[in-house]
Amino acid sequence: MTTCKRSERESFPVRSRWKTAFQALTLFSFLLLAGCWDRIEVNDLAIILATGIDTKDDQVELTAQIFIPRKAGSGSGGSGSSEASQSGVTMIRTAVGSNVAEAMNRLQRKVSRNVFWGHCEVIVISEQASKQGLRQYLDFFLRYTQIREHAYVFSTDQKARDMLALLPPLERSSAESLREMSNLKLGTRVTVLNLAQSIEGPSRSAVLSRMLILKPASGQSTYTSDPYVRGLSLIKEDRYVKTVTEPMSVGVLMLLNQLNYIIMPVEIEGNEGNVSIRLISMKTTLTPAISNNEWSMKIKVDAKGEVVLNTTSKSIADPQMNTMVEQQWKEKLTGLAKDALMLSQKQLKTDFFGFSGQFRRHYPRKWKAQKRNWDEIFENMKVEVRVDTLITSSGKSTYPQGVPGQGVQY
Amino acid sequence: MLTDKGRISEVQLAILLLPTVLATSILSVPSMTMHYAGHDMWLSPIWGSFIGLIVIGISLGIHRLYPNKTIIQSSLQIIGWFPGKLFGLAYLIYLPHLTGLIIREYGEFIVTNALPRTPLFVVMGTMVIVCTLNVRLGIEVVGRTSQIFVTIITALLLLTFLLLIKELRPQELLPVFEDGMLPSMLGSIPPAAWFSEYIVIAFLLPYVNHKRQVGKAMIGSLLFTTMTMIVTNLVCLFLLGDLTDSFTFPMLIAARYITIADFLQHIEAVIVAVWIFGIFVKISVFLYIFSTTTAEWFGLNDYKPVVAPLAFLCLAYSYWVVSSHPDVAKLLSVSGNLYTLMLLFCFPALLYVCALVRKLWNERMKGGAT
């Protein structure tokens, strides 16, 4: 112990001088290291919430919706300009370029702050632009470092620019409205990554929600409005081919296993009026089969619903009526599915529902051998649709309400 | 004879090896294996781990025949002074290449993904300085820091995987063996190159204090790394599907994809943190090996004086080895793996064969004499 201590003490003075110098140096270096020489503060950034893509005479028109922090911060104080609504905390900037990257570069020249794409959660592509191919946009979105792969993609047949210019009364920005609608699963919920996967995958197609601009209430400025979901845009290879609206879009969503929120009126034979059913859950499964070189697909749909309106004269509690409703609903759903299949197989000859992916998973060898003939096989494929329906609840009432004199009958 | 007085336990060695193998592999292995193996890329680490198993066997074997000597020291006895020195020289030339490449990979990753405006030199230089300090403090400190960091790395990686569960689609696993077994075997070359880095135990075994359980600890470490690689590959496959090999760093894309309840997002910094912790241990281990090898080769008593100059040399090498990020990718996916396998697998294997032959020969001679 003592020898050890002595040796330490002997070497102490020489060491300590260096040590003190080193410590001092480290300490003072903090003054320099806390540097702000290339800082970018929040007020140096133009935070982009949504991107819109249009075309203008073969050129790309890129629109960015930029968040205005000052307005958002002032809360209820709408005392500024009378034109902008209280909720209006965004502005748009548009730039045109021969491709999307050039347009982006030109966009920066129109914004006084450093454009930041990291919070861009929504991308709106006009059908006009997607007619010319989505490839360049997808490559850009998946390559440019700042853009998130989780951004939702929407389609519109109006100008994407106008959609981003909206200042919705309810939400902070139209980007937020679009994102919330996507979360409500009113249409398809497609991120940039999903879109790339489904276009680059074996089915070489994609389905996007089609958004339109709601007409503003009278007396309001044209921009005080919301985007809303109406139908689907179908994309074949990487190009827009067709728009479908209800009832066709319901069938498409059903086969995509993405139908979530819908209330369907169902007519009952031999009865006036109808029964409206709210969908509670729906599950669509695809089972491919190959026998004797004949490719076929079995589609099984399990639907559960709840009655929300009954304008017929019969009670839902009546078992006979119940099965009848289920039967009619089933027929209606089967019809929708068949229409959607017809569209996909015969009209557009595009595998929107990922049949090819299923064959690839279940019959990898045969799929590889027949990959080249897929279009032909798909067109002539036998598809069997089986729908199982179940009414789980008749709501608060059993007997039809509001029928004059009904209460006296029993 | 050893140039460092420090000793570590066998568990510390096992833990030390986890980031040494995993740090760089987590980011680039998924897309590299998918390039060859397609859908079966999650199987590739299993084939690759056999190389790891063999390498561990070789290291333990040589050490059993020549206890308490690093591979550089024992090579002198196995194949004679001059060939042994040549053998060591090969490593003296190779190690700065490898270390430089690791440093460069780290720098490129940080610059492209986290600090785009910071000069590459600053990013790499600061890391090298910290690693130099770490290495100068001896194997004990390197072992301790790795113990702490491995805990953090494991927790953060698990967190990322858990948060992604919602987005994963297990059906992407099918079809298995779309083109037979061969692609997954071919795809195992990049992970094999990483697993061959287990040879560092041939340099570190003399510093281990309980040599009995070393074998068991090493197997545990190997299992852990294999599992982590498989899980990483699976997560990337389930999330990105066939697109996995179109991204440079699939795991980073996966972390960026996390969105939970609209506010838990943009957590790719977690992956960057994992990477920094891991790479710190990895650079330290290779710098340590490089320093001790140099000291042993020149017959020095202490490795500490050479650490700082060698660290600087490695930093210079990081500029000399490649000139751009695509270059790093090219080197790693084509020739780099064979180069690594050559030095980290073939050479030690040959040395072990020589050692066995020599042992047999000696026994035969003794048997003949009596």
A155, β-bridge pairs? A125, A210
* Residues near A345 by beta carbon (within 8 Å), at least 6 away in sequence: A378, A379, A381, A383
pLDDT at position A80: 41
Query: Which among A218, A245, A272 is the end of a domain?
Result: A245
Find, in chain A, the residue whose alpha carbon is nearest to that of B112: A145
Domain assignment of residue A89, yes or no: yes
Shared domain check, A221 and A92: yes
Residues B288 and B132: beta-carbon distance below 8 Å: no
Which chain A residues are Cβ-neighbours of B116 within 8 angstroms? 145
pTM as predicted: 0.81
Which chain B residues are Cβ-neighbours of A367 within 8 angstroms? 175
Q: Considering only the beta carbons, identify the residue of B175, B256, B259 that sits closest to A364.
A: B175
Shared domain check, A343 and A280: yes
Token pair of B168, please?
């994963």
Residue B274's closest CA among B106, B32, B136?
B106
Domain assignment of residue A12, yes or no: no
Give the span between the Cα atoms of B232 and B254, in whole angstroms. 10
Contact of A149 with chain B, judged by CB distance below 8 Å, is answered with yes
A78 φ, ψ (degrees, to nearest 5): -90, 30
Give the span between the Cα atoms of A173 and A171, in whole angstroms. 5
Q: What is the DSSP string of A300-336?
A: EEEEEEEEEEE-SSS-TTSHHHHHHHHHHHHHHHHHH
Shared domain check, A338 and A378: yes
Shared domain check, A318 and A175: no
Cβ–Cβ below 8 Å for B265 and A364: no
Shared domain check, A233 and A153: yes
CA-based radius of gyration for chain B:
21
Which chain B residues are Cβ-neighbours of A142 within 8 angstroms? 246-247
Q: What is the CATH number of the domain that holds A348?
A: 3.30.300.210
The distance of A165 to chain B (nearest Cα, Å) reads: 23
pLDDT at position B48: 87
Would strands A227-236 and A239-244 be described as parallel, antiparallel, or unpaired?
A: antiparallel
B159 φ, ψ (degrees, to nearest 5): -60, -45
CA torsion, points A105, A107, A108, A112, in degrees to nearest 10?
170
Contact of B256 with chain A, judged by CB distance below 8 Å, is answered with yes
Q: Where on the phi/psi map is residue A95: left (φ > 0), alpha (ψ -120 to 50), or beta?
A: beta
Shared domain check, A130 and A45: yes
Which structural domain, as residue segments, surrounds residue A65?
41-75+85-245
DSSP H or E stretch at residue A96:
strand A90-97
Name the B residues in 105-164 with CB < 8 Å from any A CB. 112-113, 116-117
Cβ–Cβ below 8 Å for B112 and A150: no
Give the span between the Cα atoms of B168 and B163, in whole angstroms. 10
Omega of the bond leading into A168 within 30 degrees of 0 (cis)? no
Would strands B264-265 and B259-260 be described as parallel, antiparallel, or unpaired?
A: antiparallel
Cβ–Cβ below 8 Å for A197 and B241: yes
Q: Considering only the beta carbons, identify the residue of A149, A200, A367 that sits closest to B253.
A: A149
3-class DSSP assignment, residue A387: strand
Domain assignment of residue A340, yes or no: yes
Query: Which among A221, A245, A269 is the end of a domain?
Result: A245
A351 φ, ψ (degrees, to nearest 5): -85, 80
Token pair of B366, please?
């003794």
Q: What's the total number of domains in chain A?
A: 2
pLDDT at position A36: 66
Neighbours of A16 (CB within 10 A): 11
Mean of the per-residue pLDDT values of chain B: 85
Give the span between the Cα atoms of B12 and B146, in whole angstroms. 8
> In a mutagenesis test of the A interface, which of B257, B268, B325 is the best target, namely the one with the most A β-carbons within 10 Å?
B257
Angle at which helix B71-79 crosses helix B347-369, to 10 degrees, equals 50
**CA distances (Å), B293 to each of A313, B3, B9, B138, B280, in order?**
93, 9, 21, 14, 20
Residue B59's closest CA among B345, B366, B369?
B345
Shared domain check, A204 and A64: yes
Contact of A201 with chain B, judged by CB distance below 8 Å, is answered with yes
Residues A225 and A216: beta-carbon distance below 8 Å: yes
A339-378: burial string, b at 16+ Cβ within 10 Å, e else: bbbebbbeebebbbbbbbbbbbbbbbeebeebeeebeebb
Token pair of A329, please?
């609903």
Would strands A45-56 and A59-67 be described as parallel, antiparallel, or unpaired?
A: antiparallel
Angle at which helix B268-297 crosses helix B250-257, to 10 degrees, equals 150
**CA distances (Å), A362 to each of A255, A292, A295, B177, B235, in order?**
19, 16, 12, 12, 21
Cβ–Cβ below 8 Å for A38 and B117: yes
- Give me the amino acid identity at B298: F
Residues A261 and A279: beta-carbon distance below 8 Å: yes
Would strands A59-67 and A152-156 be described as parallel, antiparallel, or unpaired?
A: unpaired
Name the A residues in 90-119 with CB < 8 Å from any B CB. 118
Domain assignment of residue A30, yes or no: no
Find, in chain B, the residue whose alpha carbon is nearest to that of A120: B266
DSSP H or E stretch at residue A195:
helix A192-200
* Burial (CB count <10 Å: 0-12, 13-18, 19+), residue B339: middle
Contact of B269 with chain A, judged by CB distance below 8 Å, is answered with no
Give the span between the Cα atoms of B235 and B34, in whole angstroms. 13
**CA distances (Å), A215 to each of A182, A211, A244, A268, B278, in order?**
20, 13, 21, 36, 56
* Burial (CB count <10 Å: 0-12, 13-18, 19+), residue A219: exposed
3-class DSSP assignment, residue A50: strand
Which chain A residues are Cβ-neighbours of B174 within 8 angstroms? 361-362, 364
Residues B145 and B280: beta-carbon distance below 8 Å: yes
- Give me the amino acid identity at B36: Y
Find, in chain A, the residue whose alpha carbon is nearest to that of B246: A142
Neighbours of A404 (CB within 10 A): 6
Q: ∠ CA(B85), CA(B86), CA(B91), 5° rounding?
A: 95
Token pair of A275, please?
């029964």
Residue A387's closest CA among A340, A328, A331?
A331
Hunting for tokens 């609206």 — which residue is that? A245
Q: Considering only the beta carbons, identify the residue of A142, A200, A360 that sits closest to B175.
A: A360
Q: Considering only the beta carbons, identify the residue of B175, B179, B243 that sits closest to A200.
A: B243
pLDDT at position A75: 46
Omega of the bond leading into B326 within 30 degrees of 0 (cis)? no
pLDDT tens, per residue, chain A with 410 residues = 344 444 444 445 566 788 888 888 888 877 776 666 667 777 788 889 999 999 888 888 999 998 887 755 544 444 444 344 444 588 888 999 898 889 989 988 888 888 888 888 899 999 888 888 888 888 998 888 888 888 899 998 888 888 888 888 888 888 888 888 887 877 888 889 888 888 888 888 888 888 888 887 777 777 788 888 888 888 888 888 888 888 888 888 888 888 888 888 888 877 778 888 888 888 898 888 888 888 888 989 998 888 888 888 777 778 888 888 888 888 889 998 888 888 888 888 888 888 888 888 888 888 888 888 888 888 888 888 898 988 888 888 877 788 777 666 55
Identify the CATH assignment for B10-369 out of 1.10.3720.10, 1.20.1740.10, 1.10.10.60, 1.10.10.10. Answer: 1.20.1740.10
Which residues of chain B fall below pLDDT 70?
1, 325, 329, 332-334, 368-370
Residue B243's closest CA among B161, B169, B177, B329?
B169
Residue B94's closest CA among B279, B263, B290?
B290
Per-residue three-class SS string for chain B? CCCCCCCECHHHHHHHHHHHHHHHHHHHHHHHHHHHHHHHHHCHHHHHHHHHHHHHHHHHHHHHHCCCCCHHHHHHHHHCHHHHHHHHHHHHHHHHHHHHHHHHHHHHHHHHHCCCCCCHHHHHHHHHHHHHHHHHCCHHHHHHHHHHHHHHHHHHHHHHHHHHHHHCCHHHHCCCCECECHHHHHCCHHHHHHHHHHHHHHHHHHHECCCCCHHHHHHHHHHHHHHHHHHHHHHHHHHHHHHHHHCCCHHHHHHHHCEECCCEECCHHHHHHHHHHHHHHHHHHHHHHHHHHHHHHCCCCCCHHHHHHHHHHHHHHHHHHCCCHHHHHHHHHCHHHHHHHHHHHHHHHHHHHHHHHHHHHHHHHHHHHC
- Give me the amino acid identity at A298: K
pLDDT at position B118: 83
pLDDT at position A35: 62
Domain assignment of residue A5, yes or no: no
Hunting for tokens 């780099």 — which residue is that? B336
Cβ–Cβ below 8 Å for B253 and A197: no
Give the span between the Cα atoms of B303 and B72, in whole angstroms. 14
CB pairs under 8 A between A and B: 44
Residue B127's closest CA among B108, B140, B144, B143?
B108
Shared domain check, A275 and A222: no
Cβ–Cβ below 8 Å for B241 and A201: yes
Give tens-digit pLDDT for B144-174: 999 999 999 889 888 888 888 888 888 888 7
The distance of B190 to chain A (nearest Cα, Å) reads: 24
Query: Which among A193, A220, A245 is the end of a domain?
Result: A245
3-class DSSP assignment, residue A25: helix
Shared domain check, A370 and A386: yes
